[in-house]
Amino acid sequence: MKSFLNFLFWFSLLCGCDSPRPGPTVIIPAATETIVGQDFFTFEKEALIVYDDGLKEAGLLLSLYSNRPTATKNNLTPLDAAVDFSIDNTLSEEQYNLNINQTGVSITSGTLKGALRAVQTFRLLMPEEFETPQSEKKAVALPYVSISDGPAFGYRGMHLDVSRHFFPVEFVKKYIDLMALLKFNVFHWHLTDDQGWRIEIDGFPKLNSIGSFRNETLIGHYNDTPAKYDGTAYGGYYSKDDIREVVEFARARGIEVIPEIDIPGHSSAILAAYPEFGCKDHADKVATTWGIFDAILCPKPETFAFLDAVFEEILPLFTSPYVHIGGDEAVKSRWQQCPNCQALMQRKGLKNEYELQVYFVQKVAEMLANKGKSIIGWDEILEGGLSDKATIMSWRGVEGGVAAAKSGMDAIMTPTSHCYFDYYQSEKENEPLAIGGFLPLEKVYEFNPIPEGLDEKESAHILGGQGNVWTEYLDSPQAVEYMAFPRMIALAEALWSGSKHKDFKNFAGRLERFKKRLDALDVNYANHLYEIKGAFDQSASVPSYTLSTSLEGQCIRFTTDGSNPTAHSTEYKKPIPISQNTIIKAVVFQGNTPVSGLFEQKILTHLGFGKTVVISPNPHSSYSSGGAKALTNGIDGSSKRFGDSEWLGFWGDDISITVDLGEETNVTSLSTRFFNSNGQWIYAPKSISVQADGQKPVVLTIKNENTLVSVQVPVHAVTRFLKIEVVGFGKIPDHLQGGGHPAWTFIDELKIE
């Protein structure tokens, strides 16, 4: 009889009845330790979820996701309770153990936060159909599994800018729920900026009636000329009830909401409503375009009283101990011309306007400390002196975080090189319009918040990392999702799992299966896993070009004659040698069916093609993916973007380059291109000089005009070596975007004829 019942049980599974066998276990972010058994447990329709005192909210959250009833644990609890939440005081705050076996599901954690993280893992063990709002309540087969887990970093944040474009509460909640699924624990809500004030304020109603709305919005990219506008008023703000709803929704998922009120710069919306809090004689408007403006709050008593009243009104809405006060990109030209500011500097013994900003930040920090809050600021608040009252958010690289940590201050790492999800994620020309840059999925996955050069004590001040979604070019929830996903998923694993799981190919395979859950959650994610990537083989003795995809084991078929690949074209097995002008086209096939877009790369050889290049200093780590060989590989950088693998970027440096042609060669000219996008701090250099062996350098002054600046330097010499000197633009003028900071230089292919 027992054998017959077992036969009926397995036959029912094969027939696809109420309790199918579990699918492949896909845990993202990867757990510290996962052991999967061979059998499974049936999670029945009316299975009971019980919990210790203090873990009720974890039980309720699991009930929400699984559609099962809950009960407080007591002596009358049925013996067949399916899920049991228990406290284990030996576990740290976010650690948990999750075990599924023949007796059911056991979840132990040290705190509620750990239990909430376990709920998200349990969610991943359930079929994707449970993510749909109207999922049918039915029995589910859960794999036997033993999971021990905990985070590598305590701060795992995602940011959302709602000032440039405003998003409804329902989308903000969806964004937070997706964060919870991926075990993020901080939502950084960027609520104010030049383009709009997004939070209800009773005491200063013009912040909403004026500051929350702009007359129109820029169409296209900031660098497009002439600028075009849509002519339509735009705006909105969250009511206090909206804020409470979002904060409670996040809290129930173990996520802290940190508001950002961006001051003293990025204040056009504030000063459009209340110009009296700025320096005198300025008529600011809510900004209709992007970038940086000279609108800045004046550090006078009236301004601090205004800020104190605003914070007094909004801080009760947020339970986080932190407030982000921005502090970035504060153009100080008005302070330089303001008699009140100059008099204040003299009274306080401040040497310059950077020290005046430190004074401003410290005043706000003291104000918020009196209200029980600590401040976070972008790394510019370090300029003019360190403020021990702040946590630093290092975005312009890792240098701000390193300086903070070495000074005993806490820091959160969010460098543009790895954490800015408004950058392009593919080099395909048909990608949606973005601010610029290039940040592919794999580079996000490689992120390690701990910079090199810190000892153990200093490293302890690096709290974690954060991904940022700025929305100048993201005007809908779908656009935000496309830019955030799947890069948010890669960052989640980098921050939760840390260096224990740095296997991108393994991650890509899990992500491919994870897409089913994203589909069920109706997430408009970018799908570049099958996209072909090309690169030169840096180790080959002759120039050779490689093709790859993020997913292992894919069949890539290619041509080199300019024709489109078919299912019968040559299959890529090894690097392709390049000795002449070549057009490579490639497609991923599964059988006879193409599953990727067309990859196309034009390679144009010249006298310097494949030759040795030495650069000093090295390109900035954020823009060095092509390495020195990017300058002589026969491939032009994008004409639209500065951040692809072909452009090399240098921040504030003059550049020395030596090209070794290998033998005496008759050279007539060297040509190259520089990117010139002043709104993004990128400037064509002042000059370029080229020197052949035994000759004087030929110097060419460069005009800072078009977005792409092409130069051709005559050489006319027989030489083995060419020495190129590029003199950078220097510091950006104070009245322009990035004023006072070094300008970036971006250089393209060095074509030698």
Classified as helix, coil or strand, 594 is strand
Give the span between the Cα atoms of 386 and 400, in whole angstroms. 10
pLDDT score recorded for residue 625: 76
Q: What secondary structure, in 3-state letters, does 209-272 show?
A: HCCCEECCCEECCCCCCCCEECCCCEECCECHHHHHHHHHHHHCCCCEEEEEEEECCCCHHHHH
- Same fold for the domain at 155-267+286-329+369-520 and the one at 612-752? no
- The secondary structure of 67-134 as a DSSP string is T--EEE--TT--TT-SEEEEE-TTS-TT-EEEEEETTEEEEEESSHHHHHHHHHHHHHHS-GGGGSTT
Classified as helix, coil or strand, 424 is strand
Predicted confidence (pLDDT) at residue 187 exceeds the cutoff of 70: yes
- Boundaries of every domain in the chain: 17-149, 155-267+286-329+369-520, 533-603, 612-752
Give the span between the Cα atoms of 393 and 466, in whole angstroms. 9
Question: pLDDT digit string (tens) for 229-244?
Answer: 999 999 999 999 999 9
Percent of the chain with pLDDT over 90: 82
Confidence class for position 536, pLDDT limits 50, 70, 90: confident
Classified as helix, coil or strand, 139 is coil
Question: pLDDT digit string (tens) for 670-687?
Answer: 999 999 988 788 999 999
How many residues can be counted in the chain?
A: 753
pLDDT score recorded for residue 340: 96
pTM of the predicted structure, to 2 decimals: 0.90
How confident is the model over 271-285, as a mean pLDDT? 95
Predicted confidence (pLDDT) at residue 11 exceeds the cutoff of 80: no
Confidence class for position 427, pLDDT limits 50, 70, 90: confident
Predicted confidence (pLDDT) at residue 659 exceeds the cutoff of 50: yes
Give the span between the Cα atoms of 45 and 51, in whole angstroms. 18
pLDDT score recorded for residue 3: 37
pLDDT score recorded for residue 386: 66
pLDDT score recorded for residue 533: 93
Predicted confidence (pLDDT) at residue 126 exceeds the cutoff of 90: yes
pLDDT score recorded for residue 9: 35
Residue 602 pairs in a beta bridge with 583
pLDDT score recorded for residue 80: 61
DSSP E strands, 132-235: 140-149, 155-161, 186-190, 192-193, 196-197, 213-214, 218-219, 228-229, 234-235
Pick the CATH number of 155-267+286-329+369-520 from 1.10.150.120, 3.40.50.2300, 3.20.20.80, 1.25.40.10: 3.20.20.80
How confident is the model over 58-76, as a mean pLDDT? 88
How confident is the model over 298-312, as a mean pLDDT? 98
Question: pLDDT digit string (tens) for 718-739?
Answer: 999 999 999 999 999 877 777 8
Confidence class for position 21, pLDDT limits 50, 70, 90: low
How confident is the model over 487-503, as a mean pLDDT? 92
Give the span between the Cα atoms of 657 and 652, in whole angstroms. 16
Give the span between the Cα atoms of 658 and 612, in whole angstroms. 8
pLDDT score recorded for residue 73: 82
pLDDT score recorded for residue 436: 87
Catalytic residues: 193, 266, 329
How many CB atoms lie under 10 A from the CB of residue 480? 24
Asked if residues 386 and 392 have their Cβ atoms less than 8 Å apart, the reply is: no
How confident is the model over 538-548, as a mean pLDDT? 85
How confident is the model over 20-45, as a mean pLDDT? 87
Give the span between the Cα atoms of 408 and 457, in whole angstroms. 9
Question: pLDDT digit string (tens) for 326-375?
Answer: 999 999 999 999 999 999 999 999 999 999 999 999 999 999 999 999 99
The mean pLDDT of the chain is 92
- Amino acid at residue number 73: K
Phi/psi for 439 (5° steps) reads -135, 90
How confident is the model over 18-29, as a mean pLDDT? 72
pLDDT score recorded for residue 134: 66
How confident is the model over 451-480, as a mean pLDDT? 97
- Can the peptide bond before residue 316 be classed as cis, meaning omega within 30 degrees of 0? no
Pick the CATH number of 612-752 from 3.40.50.300, 2.102.10.10, 2.60.120.1190, 2.60.40.10: 2.60.120.1190
pLDDT score recorded for residue 731: 93
Classified as helix, coil or strand, 412 is strand
Sign of the CA dihedral with 289 first, then 290, 293, and 295 last: positive
Q: Is 617 exposed, middle or buried (0-12, 13-18, 19+ CB in 10 A)?
A: exposed
Confidence class for position 19, pLDDT limits 50, 70, 90: very low
pLDDT score recorded for residue 538: 67
Query: Looking at the domain that runs over 17-149, which CATH code has it been given?
Result: 3.30.379.10
Give the residue among 269, 266, 263, 257 at the shortest CA–CA distance from 197.
269
Predicted confidence (pLDDT) at residue 495 exceeds the cutoff of 50: yes
Question: pLDDT digit string (tens) for 209-225?
Answer: 999 999 999 999 988 88
Question: pLDDT digit string (tens) for 602-647?
Answer: 999 999 999 999 999 999 987 887 889 899 999 999 887 777 889 9
